[in-house]
Amino acid sequence: MPQMPDHKEPSGNTDGRLARGEATKDRVLDAAERCFAAHGFAAVTIRQIAREAEVTLGVVSFHGGSKELLFGTVLARRTATLNALRTDALNALQARGGITIRDLVDAYLTPYLEIASRGDPQWRAYAQLIARIVSDDQYYMQVRDLYDPVARDYIAEIRRIRPDASAKTVATVLTLTVASMLSIVASRVRISGLSGEPASESALDYRSTLVDFCTGGIEQALAAH
């Protein structure tokens, strides 16, 4: 394995080479993110990523390490940001008080939908990538630990509202909520095929239907305990 240029103090360095290297590394990670999102881990080749990033083959290994490591880096890169958005939204609700199931669903789903819709196309690729790997335990394990803590906060809040609900049921409905959210991002082709109307360009257009669905679903499932 090549020694990777990881031990750079993020600020205060005056070496222009490090800054350029970091920029190249970002280009590689962005390209990898787009490729993995579009085709999945196994179907993507290092050479594709290099071409997409407009660098030569060796640069991908130099900045990204092995293919597996590169994939892991891409997966982990954005979790902190997304977690922060969800935590902030939850904190805002808690400060306000009078929280409903709908509030929680909306707070959890909206950051992701916004990211997948009008954000940076790079974020869009990331959202697609998460939607892709979530049905594969082998890959999903790599992000599970990163997302679960925040999910647990939401679960705790739901249980505060519905104290009678079992832990398992709450965990199940949150998982179903996430699955619904991801399916909207991953594949709107199906909806348009079934409804006969063209697919909306933005996942946000489905926000209200999605929130209604998940809210109603959670309330119903917890009422039946």
Partner DNA sequence: AAACTATCTGAACGTCCGTATAAAAAGTCA
Partner DNA sequence: TGACTTTTTATACGGACGTTCAGATAGTTT
Q: Tell me the C-alpha distance between 90 and 150, whole Å.
A: 9
Angle at 38 between CA 32 and CA 41, to 5 degrees: 60
Return the C-alpha torsion angle 129, 135, 138, 140, nearest 10: 50
Residue in 14, 98, 167, 168 binding DNA, rule: CB under 7 A? 14
Instruction: State yes or no: residue 73 binds DNA (CB under 7 A).
Output: no
Q: Tell me the C-alpha distance between 53 and 30, whole Å.
A: 8
Residue in 61, 182, 203, 207 binding its own copies, rule: CB under 8 A? 182
User: Residue type for 31, please?
Assistant: A
Q: Tell me the C-alpha distance between 97 and 100, whole Å.
A: 9
Residue in 26, 38, 40, 48 binding DNA, rule: CB under 7 A? 48
Residue in 196, 202, 204, 207 binding its own copies, rule: CB under 8 A? 196
Q: Tell me the C-alpha distance between 134 and 142, whole Å.
A: 10
Instruction: State yes or no: residue 67 binds DNA (CB under 7 A).
Output: yes
Instruction: State yes or no: residue 220 binds its own copies (CB under 8 A).
Output: yes
Binding partner selected for residue 91 from DNA, its own copies, none, CB under the kind-specific 5 to 8 Å limit = none
Give the x-and-dash track for 123-142 against its own copies (CB under 8 A): --------xx-xxxx--xx-
Judge whether 18 and 77 are in contact, CB under 8 Å. Answer: no
Residues that bind its own copies (CB under 8 A): 39-43, 131-132, 134-137, 140-141, 144, 148, 151-152, 155, 167-176, 178-180, 182-184, 186-187, 189-197, 206, 208-210, 212-221, 223-224
